Amino acid sequence: MSEVILKNIKKVYPFSGGSGNKGLFGKVKKDTGGHRTGHLQMTDEGVVAVQEFNIDIKDKEFIVLVGPSGCGKSTTLRMIAGLEDITSGELYIDGKLCNDVDPKGRDIAMVFQSYALYPHLSVYDNIAFPLKISKVPKEEIDKKVREAAEILDITQYLDRKPKNLSGGQRQRVAIGRAIVRNPKVLLMDEPLSNLDAKLRNQMRSEIIKLRHRIDTTFIYVTHDQVEAMTLGDRIVVMKDGFVQQIGTPQEVFEHPRNLFVSGFIGTPTMNYFDARLEKREGKYHVITNGLDVVLSDDKQERLNANNVEDQDVILGVRPDHLQLCDNGIKAKVDVSELMGTSSHLHMTIDNKDVIVIVPTEGNAINYHGKQIQLTFSGAVANVFSKETEKNLEY
């Protein structure tokens, strides 16, 4: 069992320059000022990097923390790792309060963004390093290193130094070093962000395979929502130090809690329209640009439960949920991009950019300059409050 529980975790970087970064000596220099403070909350104590972070991570669960730069996701990961002090709140690993336990005592491993391999050691010694430190017998070290190398397909590179490896191979070595001692929790801090697009896709699928081979709890940080969607059992979307939503990729994609989550998750980004939400004959309708759509039953249920009143709203519909029709929202296509299996149509409606994904189905049409009409189903419409930007379903 290796559950990780974070209860009301908060991280404040004091103004005085001391970062509270634990590292080796208690206070290690780390660039935490300047750009980080962009939209973060400032208090008398300092800059609040993370606050009100609550999550129960189950044994063997794959959790992905996702958000834009400076949202506090890496800070949270480093607090779990023990590389960063926790200002307040409680961190439990395997039921044990770990706030003041040093990284060594937490039995967790971490894969860093920049690989962080030991340049003076061979691949073999890099992977064996944590076992040597733990004084594991030589024969066992050899067995475990070779096992890990086999899983990651780097057996032929065991004698090489890191400088003689490609980016992808280095990342595998870093993962090997992390998995070789069967940690309770495996932390990964943007492990694929230094790889090129093709290699990133390949490594992503290898991480999925790895996850099935080694039974452990994964906590993965990324700013790439595709990685988040494909890897995570649950994803945690963060912004400005606050958790915006925790849920399965499908939940977060289909029912974003607020405008930020709806825009951050999904490529191309969600389309927004000025709309009016009205309740007529017991049914919620959303009306935009002359189109009147009745929301689906589950949305009706949620809106009813929240007793939502008639109001002006922001309507969000994903590009692949908009459909061409004969009687809907009128628009003129500015740009038509043929993507192979689909075309991306760009247009402007109410001074807002709108993208529609139309499947080509073997018959690619150039929509450039054409007048089209759009509609959507009531099941895919998300209605956000204009004031709070929250999804009215929640």
Partner 1 sequence: MKNDAKREKTIAWIITIILTATSLAWVLPIVIVLINSFKDKGSIALETFKLPNADTFVGFLNYTNGVNMGNYSFWTCVYYSIVITVLSVGLILVCTSMSAWYISRVNSRFAKIVYALCTFSMIVPFQMVQFTLSSTASMLHLNTPYTIPVVYLGFGAGMAIFMFTGFVKQIPLEIEEAAVMDGCSPVQTFFKVVLPMLSPSLISVGILEAMWVWNDYLLPYLVLDITKYRTIPIHIQYLRGSYGQVDMGASMALIILALLPVVLVYIFCQKYIIKGVAAGAVKG
Residue numbers of the site for partner 1 (CB under 8 A)?
Answer: 17-19, 23-25, 27-30, 81-83, 103-104, 108-110, 112-120, 129-130, 133-134, 161-165, 167, 170, 177, 194
Query: Distance (Å, rounded) from C-alpha 149 to C-alpha 172?
Result: 9
DSSP per-residue letters across 288-306 = ETTEEEEPPHHHHHHHHHT
The C-alpha torsion from 21 through 26 and 28 to 32, rounded to 10°, is 20
The least CB distance from residue 188 to partner 1, in Å, is: 12
Task: Closer to partner 1 by CB, 169 or 343: give it.
Answer: 169
Cross-strand partners of 342: 359
The least CB distance from residue 85 to partner 1, in Å, is: 13
The least CB distance from residue 112 to partner 1, in Å, is: 5
Task: Closer to partner 1 by CB, 82 or 249: give it.
Answer: 82
Query: Distance (Å, rounded) from C-alpha 114 to C-alpha 194?
Result: 7
| 35 close to 66: Cβ distance less than 8 angstroms | no
| 181 close to 134: Cβ distance less than 8 angstroms | yes
The least CB distance from residue 167 to partner 1, in Å, is: 7
The least CB distance from residue 183 to partner 1, in Å, is: 9
Task: Closer to partner 1 by CB, 105 or 369: give it.
Answer: 105
* C-beta atoms surrounding 81 within 10 Å: 18
Task: Closer to partner 1 by CB, 110 or 381: give it.
Answer: 110
Task: Closer to partner 1 by CB, 81 or 221: give it.
Answer: 81
Task: Closer to partner 1 by CB, 166 or 304: give it.
Answer: 166
- The three-point CA angle 350-356-357 to 5° equals 175
Q: Which of 54, 63, 64, 45 is nearest to 7 (CA)?
A: 54
The least CB distance from residue 163 to partner 1, in Å, is: 2
